[in-house]
Structure 1
Amino acid sequence: MTGLSWDASYQDGPAPWDVGRPQQAIVRLGAAGGFAGAVLDAGCGGGENALHVAALGFSVLGVDVAETALARARAKAAERGTDVAFIAADALQLELLSRKFETVLDSGLFHSFDADERPAYVASLASVTEHGGTLYVLCFSDEGPDTGPHPVSRNELYTAFDGGGWRIATIEADRIETRFHDDGAPAWLATINRI
């Protein structure tokens, strides 16, 4: 995964998935007490989800390959006085962080990997998720009208996270807000436990 192609998405203004606020699914998770311990936001983009979770009182690290997005996220953190670290990292090599997290958030990243890349991504996530920790995946769903690009089936989530030290707790229908969908695109919100 090259950072240059992702960075280009941020060069001429906000990326299609950068809606200027945290995803409502993430806000609801926070309100329900869904976050615990140190939190990793994998593919954090402009940082809105990471900033929201940090404002709830959690230690958050946001990682992305897009330097322009990271620069914007750091500027928002400074402007808001929110303590969040944002660093460049490849989601396929998260073990290089040499850290573990009790909660890992993937908002809009899983669906960007094709079937051949997913095993490496899942292994990368496993390398940074504490045993007993929780992974949340918010991705485009293949069910419903006006789906987003690269929609994922429920079965694809089960295939990716069935076994190998993971247990899917729930997969629920939700929405991903984008600049092209008035009320969001159909999505899955998966809660996955590291065992």
Structure 2
Amino acid sequence: MSVPSSAPERPVAHVYDAAYAGVPNWDIGRPQQAFVRLLDAGLVRSPVLDVGCGTGELSLFLARHGHDVLGIDLSMTAIRQAKEKARWRRVAADFLVWDALNVSRFREANLSFRTIVDSAMLHILGDRERDRFVDGLGDVLASGGLYCVLGDARRTEREIYGITPGEIRDRFRRADGWEVLFALPTVFERRWSSNRAYFIGVQRL
């Protein structure tokens, strides 16, 4: 796959490299159940972009079920582990060290996606980062394509961490070419705990 270079710009990349030197709490060694149900429902279409893919469990799961998948993450350590898993398991998935805030640059390689999956990436971004990310999604998600995000439920209106269905509807407006198809309460599993979460699907019109 030929794509333009996108070295991580944000200092938080080093924080995640340090986390992936061990086994972070959010890396449960399998995909979150919300995405398993998404696949079972027949709603995943190739090509797939997995933003904030970590060590690649969701990417590898979708690729093992026949999908053309590209996983991206800020952390070089996580991407190295994802590539090693793909090699050990003999699963054909591609992985790149890439800042999800720069997804619009995939247009330079004439790449677009029919499904974009986000397992707990959006919910950690700041307000302006979310704006930038959503703008980039609009550049690379094909018409009729689906963006599916799983994130911790926001605990209070004053917090930026987490997501709510209302926020997603505000950011993905029909007037801008989006339609929220579903917003389901669920849980985000961690190795030693779980949090209230939402699983939300947004279609590019």
| Counterpart in the other structure of 1:142 | 154
Moved over 6 A (4+): none
Aligned to 1:152: 163
Q: How far apart are the structure 2 equivalents of 1:9 and 1:127? A: 31
Structure 1 residue 194 displacement after superposition: 0.4
Query: Identity of aligned pairs, percent?
Result: 34
Query: Which residue among 67, 70, 84 is the counterpart of 1:75?
Result: 84
Distance, in Å, in 2 between the alignment partners of 1:35 and 1:94 is 19
Please report the TM-score for the alignment, with normalisation by the length of structure 1.
0.91
Question: Residue type of the partner of 1:161?
Answer: F
Larger mean CA deviation between 127-136 and 151-160 belongs to 151-160
Q: Following superposition of structure 1 onto structure 2, how do residues 50-129 of structure 1 map, counting pairs within 5 Å?
A: 50-98=59-107, 99-129=111-141
Q: Please, which of 174, 195, 199 is the counterpart of residue 189 of structure 1?
A: 199
Tell me whether 91-100 or 156-165 shows the greater mean CA deviation: 156-165
Which runs of 5 or more structure 2 residues have no equivalent in the other structure?
1-9
For each residue in 1:84-143, what CA deviation from the matched residue of structure 2 results, as whole angstroms up to 9, or x when unmatched? 000011111112223100000011001011222211010111111101101101111136
Whole-Å Cα distance in 2 between the matches of residues 16 and 160 of structure 1? Answer: 29
TM-score (norm 2): 0.87
Q: Counterpart of 1:9 in structure 2: which amino acid? A: A
Task: Supply the distance in 1 between the matched residues of 2:102 and 2:129 (Cα, whole angstroms).
Answer: 12
Shift of 1:5: 2.2
Q: What is aligned with 2:53?
A: 44
Cα RMSD after superposing both structures: 1.6
**Letter of the aligned partner of 2:38 in structure 1?**
L
